[in-house]
Amino acid sequence: MKDSPYLIELKGMTKVFPGVLANDAVDLKIKPGEIHALLGENGAGKSTLVKMIYGILKPDAGTIFYDGKRVEIESPAHARKLGIAMVFQHFSLFDSLSVVENISLGINQAVDLKKLAGEITEISKRYGLPLDPHRHVYTLSVGERQRIEIIRCLLLQPRLLVMDEPTSVLTPQEVQKLFMTLNRLAEEGLAILYISHKLDEIKSLCHHATILRLGKRIGTVNIDNESTSSLAIMMMGEELERIDKGEKVTAGEVRLRVDNLTMPAIDSTGITLQNINLEVRAGEIVGIAGVAGNGQDELLKALNGEECCQTASSIIIENKPAGKLGPNARRRAGMASVPEKRLGHGAIPDMDLVDNAFMTGFHRMGLLARGLINYSKTRSFAHKVIDDFAVKTSGSRVPASSLSGGNLQKFIIGRELTQAPDILIVSQPTWGVDAGATQTIRHSLRKLADQGAAVLIISQDLDELMEMSDRIGAICGGRLSHFYPTNDMTVEKVGLLMAGVSLDQGEANVA
Amino acid sequence: MWPSLVQRQIPSRLMVYLSPVLALLLSLLAGIVLFIIIGVPPLAALHAFFIEPLSTSYGLAELGVKGTPLILIGVALSLGFKAGVWNIGAEGQLTMGGLCGGAVALYFYGQEGFHILPLMLLAGVLGGVAWAAIVAFLRVRFNANEILTSLMLSYVAGYFLNFMMHGPLKDPEGYNFPESRQFSESALLPLLFDGTRLHIGAIMALIAVVLGWIILSRTLLGYQIKIAGSAPEACEHAGFSNNKIIWITLLMGGGMAGLAGTIEVSGPIGQLLPNISPGYGFTAIIVAYVGRLHPVGALFAGLLLALTYLGGETAQIRLNLPVAVTGVFQGLLLFFLLASDVLIRYRIQFGKPALTMEKN
């Protein structure tokens, strides 16, 4: 093994959790300078494998060779000592501290902040990661925060960099920049393990890919020989279908109209919605793109009634002013909504699926009689949702928190769709959802629109919006752009809208 | 290496319900150790504490008398705690309820009639509601922590009762003792059994248990209470107002505590005194937790905690033990209960804290 060309080589990695074989004899090899994709649906065992590499989990079986030598990675500190660094999906940064202070906290010894700031600037210049070391974190965008994490890793001069779904929060332009940085790093000999389920990205960035399904390694392939659909087939084990948007141009009457809606932020971290104008017609899907934290949450809550408007005529449902109605009055008027956060907002984590079905369904499904809950009716409603939307669960009596992200999302969307709404507002319908569930969800949303409902999708996944929506616009800093037919748009143009740039020349960025 | 707490993947459902029993056994064990340390024969002490009070029909009736306010308040607090509304000041709401109910009794002094008792109970409920309304208003309007405000208002209520006893409501023929007149016959709660002090308040406590149970398990309000406590954002999404739940649960707690206060003054006490409760309002917090925040649980827990009051009295008489023994036992019970609850959700791990979450 002495002259191995591989930096790291995993053999037969196995990890068992109570009741689940999370990794079943998985092999993985990465050479220096290689960008290697780890691909798989949610629950395929990607995180488990990575956690074993980074010393967070201890494998039950299997060996790791690093630099040709057999190692047992005891802890993240040990992994870092070996030269393995990891950028997590969720950042661990203190908002109220500056960039350099945050980075110094990760170093286990006294640090000269001035010197460290110099090093940060140097690395940020060298790899095209613009970042001012003295800015406070709360003033930074998500993309800039991610740069802190990357620079924090690079300061350790790692030989293997692990990135867990790094692009889920970035604009297309930011993704482009990140990829340039990663390519430069790989040219210098850094090995990169890149975890994602976005096939297009993997196709354009990575050299090799290892595909996992249900804890097993399906194969390792050279990306140049594969297409996105062949990768998807390996990942899911079934053929993906493209959703047919059809040739519909005839959108029906306006079901939801937002008229000059302005809503001040609730607190200092909130976003003020300004002059929002929007129309969603029967039979069409309208998409709102945008980078996280630009007012998506606020918009959803303003539309579904969780926050009431100052004037009733700001929001018009089926030609009736609804701005001052609460969520249940708007449900009665035909509106349903799916918030971005599933556990704790769209569903109650520690209550079972029957209670969660009741949560938004009791009005339209008639689950309440004279103040008393009709539990047998609620149970059959919950079972209908579970059956119709193929929610994988051991029963309706399990808490919502025990479902995987994709299954919970199928349950939540199914709960709303079963109520046959005339207007559906859904935020991040497939975020963190595996490819199979994504297909189910997208199909059912399109079907709802085809049946004559007005559907509004708020999403940070541009591919999804380009695929799903008939008209598309973007939200930036609490303002909404104009909307354009998706067929006339490119990803780049939507990226400009997301950055708050107007596409119409000579016109200011009117919302 | 310090031991660390690791979250269990799924807490055992059985243990969640067994933990009060476990806590009781552990408190008994700790009690035995305590008795040995202070030189009292432990078996005799435990007998005096837990067996003797239950060996006579009078003792059983007393258990009902002491249990009534604990159960009434415990049921209401269970609902409040489930909603994440931490009303710690039931003692003050009980005091104000007792004062208002007692004031009505004194207003009708020397008169008889069937209208007097209902009016007293109503005044008692309203007194408790009003006192809790201050807490609810401060919480909803200014986001003031209800734990602090309700607790502090308890002391205000205590001093206010004291002031009324030394002033306006003092018995004019009472040789300047800070006590009110004895209530007239119509202002006293009817007894259930002759020769005991068990009164119809006990039936009200049972009704409260049943009502609380129905509210929690079957009604929209109960559903709102459960979801407000476990996921406030989901509560807003479902179209329920968290502020409304805060108001309802606080007023409910205040009303029940006020009712319990009036029941105390018109039942076992029969007049207003500067001190009308041996801490029922605080003990009811333990009742709610030992009863697993469930109305039926509060029934059993209320009787158990009532026993600690009775046992404390017997132990005082028989063995010359200080009255503080009651408080010690109540404290031990709560301590062991909370400790068991922590260990049901987490397990202790020695050695390196490599696994911080036992999740896949």
Q: Cβ contact (<8 Å) for B227 and A58?
A: no
Residue A351 burial (C-beta neighbours within 10 Å; 0-12, 13-18, 19+): buried
Percent share of chain A, pLDDT over 90: 44
Which tokens belong to A344?
Answer: 């704790």
pLDDT tens figures, A136-151: 888 887 778 888 888 8
For residue A73, list chain B residues with Cβ-Cβ distance below 8 A.
none
A209 touching chain B per CB within 8 A:
no
Q: What residues 34-93 of chain A have any CB closer than 8 A to a CB of chain B? A: 48, 55-58, 74-75
pLDDT of residue B243: 94
Top pLDDT among A89 and B251 is at: B251
pLDDT of residue A238: 56
Reported residue count of chain A is: 511
What is the arrangement of strands in the sheet containing A254-263, beginning at the earlier edge strand?
A273-281, A254-263, A315-317, A320-321
Asked if A10 contacts A29 with a C-beta cutoff of 8 angstroms, the reply is yes
Tokens 């008489």 belong to residue: B317
pLDDT tens figures, B296-350: 999 999 999 999 999 988 888 888 888 888 888 889 998 999 898 888 888 887 7
Asked if A486 contacts A471 with a C-beta cutoff of 8 angstroms, the reply is yes
**Nearest-CA distance B283 → chain A (Å):** 28
> Which CA distances in Å does A463 have to A198, A248, B60?
9, 20, 73
pLDDT of residue B351: 62
pLDDT of residue B357: 40
The answer on pLDDT for A296 being more than 80 is: yes
A450 touching chain B per CB within 8 A:
no
Q: Cβ contact (<8 Å) for A327 and B223?
A: no
Q: Cβ contact (<8 Å) for A359 and B233?
A: no
pLDDT of residue A41: 73
**Phi-psi map region of A45: left, alpha, beta (phi>0 left; psi -120 to 50 alpha):** left
For residue A359, list chain B residues with Cβ-Cβ distance below 8 A.
227, 234, 237-238
How many alpha carbons lie under 13 Å from residue B58 in its C-beta half-sphere?
3
Distance from C-alpha of B225 to C-alpha of B242, rounded to nearest angstrom? 9
**Position A272 in a domain:** yes
Distance from C-alpha of A489 to C-alpha of A474, rounded to nearest angstrom? 12
Confidence band of A239 (pLDDT split at 50, 70, 90)? very low
> Which CA distances in Å does A257 have to A153, A315, B237?
47, 6, 21
Q: Cβ contact (<8 Å) for B238 and A359?
A: yes
Domain that includes residue A486, residue range: 252-334+424-436+446-502+507-511
**Position A486 in a domain:** yes
> To the nearest 5 percent, what fractions of chain A are helix, strand and coil?
35, 25, 40
Distance from C-alpha of B23 to C-alpha of B338, rounded to nearest angstrom? 8
For residue B223, list chain A residues with Cβ-Cβ distance below 8 A.
355, 358, 373
For residue A288, the Cα-to-chain-centroid distance in whole angstroms is: 15
Residue A143 burial (C-beta neighbours within 10 Å; 0-12, 13-18, 19+): buried
Mean pLDDT within A385-399: 89
Q: Residue A457: enclosing H or E segment and its boundaries? A: strand A454-458
A472: number of Cβ within 10 Å: 26
Amino acid identity for residue A211 in this structure: I
Distance from C-alpha of A349 to C-alpha of A400, rounded to nearest angstrom? 5
CB burial of B226-239 (b: ≥16 within 10 Å; e: otherwise) equals bbbbbbbbbbbbbb
CATH assignment of B64-320?
Answer: 1.10.3470
For residue A44, list chain B residues with Cβ-Cβ distance below 8 A.
none
Q: Residue A153: enclosing H or E segment and its boundaries? A: helix A142-154
CATH number of the domain to which A460 belongs: 3.40.50.300
Mean pLDDT within A278-292: 90
Q: Residue B209: enclosing H or E segment and its boundaries? A: helix B201-218
For residue A20, list chain B residues with Cβ-Cβ distance below 8 A.
360
pLDDT of residue A199: 76
**Position A403 in a domain:** no
Q: Cβ contact (<8 Å) for B221 and A362?
A: no
**Nearest-CA distance B12 → chain A (Å):** 14
Please provide residue A385's backbone torsions phi and psi, each rounded to the nearest 5 degrees. -60, -45
Choose the closest CB to A371 out of B220, B233, B238.
Answer: B220
Choose the closest CB to A17 out of B220, B223, B360.
Answer: B360
Q: Residue A161: enclosing H or E segment and its boundaries? A: strand A160-164
pLDDT tens figures, A149-183: 888 888 888 999 999 888 766 777 888 888 998 99
Taking alpha carbons only, the member of A119, A92, A118 closest to residue A105 is A92
Percent share of chain A, pLDDT over 70: 93
pLDDT of residue A1: 42
Which tokens belong to B356?
Answer: 């911080």
**Position A96 in a domain:** no
**Phi-psi map region of B161: left, alpha, beta (phi>0 left; psi -120 to 50 alpha):** alpha
**Nearest-CA distance B349 → chain A (Å):** 15
Which has the minimum average pLDDT: A64-73, A116-125, A169-178? A169-178
Which has the minimum average pLDDT: A164-168, A273-277, A388-392, A449-453? A164-168
> Which CA distances in Å does A46 have to A8, A13, B55, B226?
16, 12, 65, 36
What is the three-class DSSP state of A30?
A: strand
Tokens 């609810």 belong to residue: B136
pLDDT of residue B117: 95
Q: Cβ contact (<8 Å) for A368 and B354?
A: no
pLDDT tens figures, B54-104: 999 999 999 999 999 999 999 999 999 999 999 999 999 999 999 999 999
What is the three-class DSSP state of B50?
A: helix
Taking alpha carbons only, the member of B349, B352, B297 closest to residue B75 is B297
Mean pLDDT within A190-202: 85
Which tokens belong to A352?
Answer: 């079972």
Distance from C-alpha of A360 to C-alpha of B240, rounded to nearest angstrom? 10
Percent share of chain B, pLDDT over 90: 71
The listed range with the strongest mean pLDDT (A306-310, B238-242, B255-259) is B255-259
pLDDT of residue B120: 97
A287 touching chain B per CB within 8 A:
no
**Nearest-CA distance A170 → chain B (Å):** 26
Which of B143, B230, B237 best tests the A interface by mutation, with the highest count of A CBs <10 A?
A: B237
Distance from C-alpha of B49 to C-alpha of B59, rounded to nearest angstrom? 12
Distance from C-alpha of B185 to C-alpha of B203, rounded to nearest angstrom? 20
Tokens 């209960």 belong to residue: B337
For residue B360, list chain A residues with Cβ-Cβ distance below 8 A.
17, 20, 22, 48
Number of domains in chain A: 1
Mean pLDDT within B221-240: 93
Top pLDDT among B120 and A89 is at: B120
pLDDT of residue A250: 60
pLDDT of residue A506: 39
Percent share of chain B, pLDDT over 70: 96
Distance from C-alpha of B295 to C-alpha of B228, rounded to nearest angstrom? 18
Tokens 């990891």 belong to residue: A86
Residues pairing with A485 in the sheet: A471
**Position A182 in a domain:** no
**Phi-psi map region of A373: left, alpha, beta (phi>0 left; psi -120 to 50 alpha):** beta
Confidence band of A246 (pLDDT split at 50, 70, 90)? low
**A-B C-beta contacts closer than 8 Å:** 72
**Position A47 in a domain:** no
Confidence band of A299 (pLDDT split at 50, 70, 90)? very high
Distance from C-alpha of A263 to C-alpha of A298, rounded to nearest angstrom? 9
Confidence band of B9 (pLDDT split at 50, 70, 90)? low
ipTM of the complex: 0.83
pLDDT of residue B355: 41
pLDDT of residue B359: 37
Confidence band of A237 (pLDDT split at 50, 70, 90)? low
**Position A14 in a domain:** no
Confidence band of A268 (pLDDT split at 50, 70, 90)? low
Confidence band of A240 (pLDDT split at 50, 70, 90)? very low
pLDDT tens figures, A342-362: 889 999 998 999 999 999 999
Amino acid identity for residue B50 in this structure: F
pLDDT tens figures, A477-511: 899 999 999 988 888 788 788 877 887 643 444 43
